[in-house]
Structure formats: structure tokens, C-alpha cells
């Protein structure tokens, strides 16, 4: 178990890896990778047990996941340079056949959550104690399929399913609140029968606590699936990327990347 301060330092490094990886690839999605990296760090480095599964439903943020997997020793640091290159296991969007640890193949929004539900159901049939975690986007939450799972997981009493919503209010055509508002989001999920936690998404103490609460709910015989609404900032950690819609899906130049990395290293 890492302390919040240790996690903060590790995640700083992972942010620089994300920037370097995307810059080397020449394309990719910095905004949504930087908004979820704090959550992924806590989840993978502290919370997840060996047999738990994680599904990245918002697949375009996969550089964040590759960075964490590399930190965990599941991917060589050197391999991160192959992101998006021909014949690499590190595809632009998750490919579970090339890299089984990814758990699902995603990149078409709205699908990963259903797959996560299926794994959770499978665990339940086999009376396994393991959990399934799934990260979805707020733009992704406009897909009807998300709401089909929102409806079904409570019916199946999937308390072993913990979903995290990366609520960064950004998508491609603009702010989520303009493109197609999803608020009041906690009310919606609660009314569908989920246990909902609402946290600031870059506060390590709060993220750690939310996962502990989720685990306790499950261990105390809770029957509801859990949703953690993480209020995040798209592009978090690089001032000129923060809340800038244009940084959703472009790579920085080498020069701009150097500035970003300097800034991440200097700040926290």
C-alpha cells in the first residue's frame, strides 16, 4: 500500500510517461488520459487484488493504462515507445487479444461497461470474491448502452462491480454540458439502483477512501453495484491542456511536450 504522498509522486512520473508516449507516437489522446491517471494509479497500485479485473471502457485513454501497467512491471518501459506503431501490442485503443491484461477490446464508446458486467456476473455464478472495475467517460455516458447496463446491473445485484465515471466535462465537439448534458448524474444512477459516491477526482485521499468504502460495502453484504463519480479535469497537470477541448485527441510537438513535462515535474 502506498501513501497518498507516494502515489502523488508516482503519478507525476506517469503523467510524464503519458506525454512522452503520445509525443513519440505522434497521435493519441492526452486530455482524457491525464484526467483519469490519478484514479488508475490508486486503483492498480493500491486497490486491485491479483484476480480483480479492470476494463477501460473509454478506450482512447489507454496511454494512461499502459503507463500504470508499466509501473506495475507488466509492460517494459521501453515498450511504451511502440505505442500506435505497426505490429505493437500497444494499439491505439485496447486490444485484449494482443495484450490480455487489458481485459476487453474497447474504443467504441459505451461497450466496455456491458463486458465488465458480464465478467462480474461470471464471478458471481462461480461465487468468486473478486471485483470488476470499469472506467467510463462522461461523453461516453451519452451512449444508450451505458444506461442499459445501469438498468441491468442492479437487477443482477452486482455488488462486485465498481464503475468509475471520469467526469471531466469534456468530449470532442465541446463541453459535455453543451454537447449533450448528463447532469444531474448522481441522481440518475441512484434512481437506477446504484450506490453512488461523488468525489473530487484528483484528491488522492478521497480516491483511496472511495475505493475503501466501495470494498466495505461489498464485504458487508451490500447488494448494489457501485458508481464513483470522479469530478476530474481534462488535461490535468499541464496548465495549457487543462479544460482545453482541443487537447482531446492531438499529440504535442516535441517542444510543447518538453514544456509539459517540465511543468509536471515542477508542480504536483
Ligand X SMILES: Cc1ncc(C[n+]2csc(CCOP(=O)(O)OP(=O)(O)O)c2C)c(N)n1
Interface residue with ligand X among 92, 139, 154, 225 (CB under 6 A) is 139
In whole angstroms, the minimum distance from the beta carbon of 232 to ligand X comes to 8
Q: Could you list the residues that contact Mg ion (CB under 5 A)?
A: 137-139, 168, 170
- Phi, psi for 75 (deg, rounded to 5): -140, 135
Cell numbers standing for residue 15: 503523467
Burial letters 14-37, b for 16+ CB under 10 A, else e: bbbbbbbbbbbbeebbbbbbbbbb
Cell numbers standing for residue 168: 471531466
Interface residue with another protein among 52, 88, 209, 258 (CB under 8 A) is 88
Q: Is 26 in the site for another protein (CB under 8 A)?
A: yes
How many alpha carbons lie under 13 Å from residue 200 in its C-beta half-sphere?
6
Whole-number Å distance between alpha carbons of 15 and 68? 10
Binding-residue total with ligand X (CB under 6 A): 20
Q: Which residues 42-61 are close enough to bind ligand X by CB under 6 A?
A: 58, 60-61
In whole angstroms, the minimum distance from the beta carbon of 41 to ligand X comes to 16
Is residue 54 helix, strand or coil?
strand
Interface residue with ligand X among 63, 65, 171, 194 (CB under 6 A) is 171
Interface residue with another protein among 51, 77, 180, 187 (CB under 8 A) is 180
Q: Is 117 in the site for ligand X (CB under 6 A)?
A: no
Q: Is 87 in the site for another protein (CB under 8 A)?
A: yes
Of the pair 31, 103, the CB lying nearest ligand X is at: 31
Whole-number Å distance between alpha carbons of 135 and 151? 17
Q: Which residues 127-146 are close enough to bind another protein by CB under 8 A?
A: 139-140, 142-144
In the sheet that holds 132-137, the strands lie side by side as 53-56, 132-137, 161-167, 226-231, 195-200
Is residue 198 helix, strand or coil?
strand
Q: Is 41 in the site for another protein (CB under 8 A)?
A: no
Whole-number Å distance between alpha carbons of 156 and 46? 28
Q: Is 172 in the site for another protein (CB under 8 A)?
A: yes
Where does this chain bind another protein (CB under 8 A)?
Answer: 25-28, 59, 84-88, 90-93, 95, 105-110, 139-140, 142-144, 171-173, 179-180
Binding site residues, ligand X, CB under 6 A: 31-32, 35, 58, 60-61, 107-109, 137-140, 166, 168, 170-172, 234, 248
Amino acid at each position: 500500500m502506498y501513501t497518498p504522498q507516494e502515489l502523488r509522486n508516482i503519478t507525476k512520473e506517469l503523467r510524464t510517461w503519458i506525454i512522452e508516449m503520445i509525443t513519440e507516437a505522434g497521435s493519441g489522446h492526452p486530455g482524457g488520459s491525464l484526467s483519469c491517471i490519478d484514479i488508475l494509479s490508486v486503483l492498480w497500485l493500491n486497490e486491485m487484488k491479483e484476480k480483480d479485473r479492470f476494463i477501460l471502457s473509454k478506450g482512447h485513454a489507454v496511454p494512461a493504462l499502459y503507463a500504470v501497467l508499466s509501473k506495475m512491471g507488466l509492460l517494459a518501459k521501453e515498450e511504451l515507445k511502440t505505442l500506435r506503431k505497426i505490429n505493437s501490442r500497444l494499439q491505439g485503443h485496447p486490444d485484449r487479444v494482443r495484450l490480455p491484461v487489458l481485459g476487453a477490446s474497447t474504443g467504441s464508446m459505451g461497450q466496455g461497461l456491458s463486458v465488465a458486467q458480464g465478467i462480474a456476473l461470471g464471478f458471481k455464478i462461480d461465487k468468486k470474491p473478486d471485483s470488476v472495475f470499469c472506467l467510463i467517460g462522461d461523453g461516453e455516458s451519452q451512449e444508450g448502452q451505458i444506461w442499459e447496463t445501469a438498468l441491468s446491473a442492479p437487477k443482477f445485484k452486482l455488488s462486485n462491480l465498481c464503475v468509475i465515471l471520469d467526469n471531466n466535462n469534456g468530449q470532442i465537439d465541446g463541453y459535455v454540458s453543451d454537447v449533450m448534458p448528463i447532469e444531474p448524474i448522481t441522481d440518475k444512477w441512484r434512481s437506477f439502483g446504484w450506490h453512488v459516491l461523488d468525489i473530487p477526482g484528483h484528491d488522492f485521499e478521497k480516491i483511496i477512501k472511495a475505493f475503501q468504502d466501495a470494498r466495505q460495502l461489498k464485504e458487508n453484504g451490500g447488494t448494489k453495484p457501485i458508481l464513483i463519480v470522479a469530478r476530474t479535469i481534462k488535461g490535468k497537470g499541464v496548465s495549457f491542456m487543462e479544460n482545453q477541448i482541443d487537447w482531446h485527441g492531438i499529440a504535442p510537438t516535441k517542444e510543447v511536450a518538453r514544456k509539459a513535462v517540465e511543468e509536471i515535474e515542477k508542480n504536483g
